[in-house]
Amino acid sequence: MLCWNVYYGDVNAREIKVFNIFNHWSFYEACLKAKRKFKDDKDGFSKEVRGWLHYYFWSKCEWEIILDHWPNGEWSDLRTSMKVGEMLDMYRAAGKKCDSWRINDKVLDRDVTLEVFPEWFQYRQRKIDVAEQVENNWEIFIDYLWDHRNELKARK
């Protein structure tokens, strides 16, 4: 039996689960049709399967999850001490307009040292879908599917 597992969010159970994409009836049938249509053409087969992968799994909320850093929260090891002037210079170098640093509406002197957590170190949550999970290993996936295409058989 073909197997390619991905993560998805089960909204009813309110948890992240593992799902074999070949258990998706319509996607499986599309792969079967691609096998019949492109018997000896791996490139054509690959393009067809990618199209169906996008059709069924790309950018659909039921197939999306949010990736987050663990442990959640601040990365205390990335904190550093910097002078206000250094921070202002870095913001300007990054093309941001920043003439002063304020705390509670008080403008800080350039020589004041602060413990900072620079925004360029902050992680961002990332939304990914099943299609992106598969495409991260597309060549391996398509080689696997091509090599095992004879296992694609009509389901009853």
Instruction: List the chain domain ranges.
Output: 5-68+125-151, 76-121
- pLDDT tens digit string along 143-156? 999 999 999 999 87
Least confident of 26-30, 103-107, 126-130, 139-143: 103-107
**Res 77: pLDDT:** 52
What is the tens place of the pLDDT at every residue in 34-70? 999 999 999 999 999 999 999 999 998 899 998 876 6
Instruction: Give the pLDDT mean for 96-124.
Output: 68
Question: Would you say the pTM of this structure is higher than 0.85?
Answer: no
Read off the pLDDT of each residue in 102-116 and give the average, rounded to a whole number. 74
pLDDT the model gives residue 86:
80
How high is the mean pLDDT of the chain? 85
Name the E strands within the chain. Answer: 5-10, 15-20, 64-67, 80-83, 102-103, 106-107, 113-116, 126-129
Residue 116 pLDDT > 90, yes or no?
Answer: no
Q: Give the mean model confidence (pLDDT) for residues 3-23.
A: 94
Residue 73: predicted pLDDT: 52
Question: Taken in order 17, 19, 25, 27, is the CA torsion positive or negative?
Answer: positive
